Amino acid sequence: MPAKDYPHLYSYGKIGKMALKNRIVMCPMGTFSENHDGSVSSNQLEYFRARARGGVGLVITEVQYVTNKTDPWINYITTADTDEQMKGWAQLVEAIHAEGAKCCLQLGCGLGRNAFPFSDDQMVSASEVPSFYFPDRLCRAFTIDEIHDMVGCFTRAAARAVLAEADAVEIHAHAGYILDQFITPIWNKRTDEYGGSFENRMRIVKEIYEGIRSQVGPDMPILMRLAAHHDFDGGRTLEETIEVVNYMKALGVDAFDIDLGAYEEKQWVCPSIYQGDSSMADEASKIKEACDVIVLNAGTHTPASAEAALAAGKIDYAMFGRALIADPDMPNKILEGHDEDVRPCLFCNQICVGRLYQNRAISCAINAQAVHEKEYPLVKTDSPKKIAVVGGGPGGLEAARVASAQGHCVTLFDKADVLGGQLVGASAPSFKKHLREFVEYEKTQIKKNGVKVVLGKEITPDSPELAEFDRIILATGAVPALPPIPGIENAVEVLNSHLHPELVKGDRIVVAGGGVSGCEAALELAYEGKDVTIIEMLPELCPTALLDNRNPLLFRLRDNNVKQLTSTKIKEIKADCVIAEGPEGEVCIPADTIIASFGMKPYAPYVEAICEKYPTTAVVGDCISVGQVGEAVRGGFFAAWSIH
């Protein structure tokens, strides 16, 4: 029976004649895990198989390129537009069907002006417009022959999708990619039959739809993915999208996969924690209401927020992407009433998105098995060992979870009186609730696995307990880095400001340090109505943060009137002000509270000595080198997984 708390999420649905067992859809996300020629790899196959097995109703694959003749960087996909590609699709579809889900192949023709900068070749677009990553370089416009060739590629791909026994196909036209570049006037400056009027700009999409329909027949659903609006000046508006959707509905498109945004002011392609849960559902609902169409919608859904959106009639199907990378079994766990066992996505974008920028196959910050399901299974050992994990932060918790799941006898030591390490303070802001949920998930798993937890105990090289264990994993984490600025004792360290909000007094707050932690603290205080100023000695705030996270964070600082003093060095911190040197000379910024956010440094007073005494010791997380949550969690996973 469906989970009683999620009646809408687990209700039967139909798109055209395609019946679905629930309203949970895996949304299309690139993994970069295909074979070198673009064919389906074994890793890719097992990745999709695992998500289908986990209980989704429909899997929409990552985009399947119907051609390799558009973007220079996809010319390696030599299987595109060949029967060899179809054979891979057939394997993929059968694997998904075998696990009880339906499969929709998303068909696309490339990124055009948004193409990743992995090549020096000229980008291509609907017309001669600037490349996104290289605004000083103009794209060349597609020729008429190339457009006709693209239409033919989609048509042949549809025929091959039928041979592969796919249940549906989706036309990829969102986020300012090639088809969107034809649809949208800001990118389409053509003066031929594929530019100018609305009908001309829609012509390529119309011809593609008609080509697909000619091959799949009247019964196979055709979906279309596009943004409700682009959310930047000059981009497509909601009213224009309504016109597009009504036009495609009249042609016969069965359902619309609605998201938001484009690469300009990039914040919606992979929305972050700062946008909140179900962050694009409200905009998708406007399309559903105006056009009376079936709407699928992605964007930071949690099971609870998706259920609410479905119950309110905002959307018809909830699409989960990164949440299923983090936990492929999420649908079945909820269906069976085990919500506490769901590994909650952090929407951190660290590994799933960050690796795309590196031209690497993705994985997950908190699920090292993602896209590596075959390589890293958790298997009960035939040789159980006694394992000590020192440190109860994210790295230590994951090490304890994995080691105990594999059948080892694990004891976790932490000098604090609560588990979670830095995450206890770092997760305090309202928009970081998923980090709190992750700590609770880890605590629940180690309890279920029988891990012995010893709190308030600092382990040193001389601790007699260590001699009792076969293996030791050190994950002692990091501590705040406080530079020798005169008066630094007058500041409240940023983690303490979260742990002890009573230390933050008054309404005028100065945050010293404009990294991610400082900016997040500033944003939380701005939400509380405080008058906040950030001081940063570099020219920009959080310059090394991933664009998909940095943009929405900075936009919200701007929208909440947080003042920013960059290229400004702090000279002294007084009880009621900060003295700093900026581009225009010395300034004094009055403050009721100064928050110090200068980063972290490894806490490793005993690491080397313990390793010398116990040479098989593994060291993970921030006590080696300070990083993000993903480095600690993944390090903890592999340290434990490697113990056989």
Query: Exposed/middle/buried for 587, CB within 10 Å: 0-12, 13-18, 19+?
Result: middle
Query: Which residues face 336 on adjacent strands?
Result: none
For residue 614, indicate whether it is catalytic: no
Question: Hey, what are 367's tokens?
Answer: 């699920």
> How many whole angstroms separate alpha carbon 617 and alpha carbon 194?
64
List all residues 6 or more positions away from 484 whose beta carbon is below 8 Å from its beta carbon: none
SS3 label, residue 325? helix
Which two tokens mark 199?
Answer: 């009908």
Residue 141: which of 204, 65, 81 has the closest Cα?
204
Residue 82 makes CB contacts below 8 A (sequence gap 6+) with none
Contacts of 288 by beta carbon, 8 Å cutoff, 6+ apart? 258, 295, 313, 314, 315, 316
Q: Backbone dihedral region of 463: left (phi > 0), alpha (psi from -120 to 50 degrees) or beta? A: beta
Cβ–Cβ under 8 Å, residues 64 and 107? yes
E strand segments, 236-307:
255-259, 295-297
Task: Classify strands 140-141 and 124-125 as parallel, antiparallel or unpaired.
Answer: parallel
Selecting among 10, 47, 177, 606, the annotated active-site residue is: 177
Around Cβ 260, how many Cβ atoms within 10 Å?
A: 24
Other Cβ atoms less than 10 A from the Cβ of 416: the count is: 16
CA neighbor of 623 nearest in space, from 598, 599, 606: 606
The token duo for 366 is: 């908190």
**Looking at the chain, how many residues does it have?**
644
CB atoms near residue 367 (< 10 Å): 25
State the catalytic residues. 177
